[in-house]
Amino acid sequence: MASPTTTTSNRLLTLPPELRNQIYRYVLVRDHLISLPCSVARRPAAIEPPLLAVNRHIRTEAESIFYGENTFEASDTAEAERWLSGLDDDRLKAVASIRAFHMSAAVAAANDREEKWREALRETVKRIARVSGRGLLSKSALLIPLPVRFKIVWMTEEDLDGYERIAYPWCPAETCGFKRKGGGRSC
């Protein structure tokens, strides 16, 4: 007699691919960010739902949905880099969106009150895509936080040209924000 897991997964695989993909999306795609715990850097698969461990066929079909349709959140660029470095090539290619809250090089450049912040962010994104992403991660997958009008706006590296840094004489550098170029008021 077959085990219940084998029977269930075999029945799932008898469904048409379009229906299986709908089921995978229902099970795997979150309506909230998936936070990367510190320990996940050593074992990237630790955040994967159990469905991806059922069998190779389901993993092959569903893995791109999990990694490509969710947004992952790292507390800083180092954590994001550790996690990305631990992913195999297929998972890495599938990652569509990751947020890293603290981009230390860019913050340091922005605190100089010069226009180096844009270049520092670009260099950080390029380094992560090239080194941790092994050239397989799209630069547009890494989302960059900018404080704009009392909130954080997440954008890709290409979007940076549309913003400028705001620095007021009475405002400490780390609390000043950004505004859309040519826009009126800002935060």
Residue 77's pLDDT is 82
Which pTM does this prediction carry?
Answer: 0.75
Between residues 152 and 58, which one has the greater pLDDT? 58
- Write the DSSP assignment of 46-75 as a string of letters: GGS-GGGGS-HHHHHHHHHHHHHHS-EEEE
Q: Give me the chain's average pLDDT, please.
A: 78
Whole-number pLDDT of residue 186: 44
β-strand 98-102 against 72-76: which pairing, if any? parallel
pLDDT at 61 over 90: yes
The tens digit of pLDDT for each residue in 93-150 reads 999 999 886 665 555 555 554 567 677 778 888 888 888 888 888 888 888 877 776 6
| Model confidence pLDDT, tens digit, residues 7-38 | 555 788 999 999 999 999 999 999 999 988 77
What residue ranges do the domains of the chain occupy? 4-144+154-161
Q: What is the pLDDT of residues 75-108, one digit of tens each?
A: 888 888 888 888 889 898 999 999 886 665 555 5
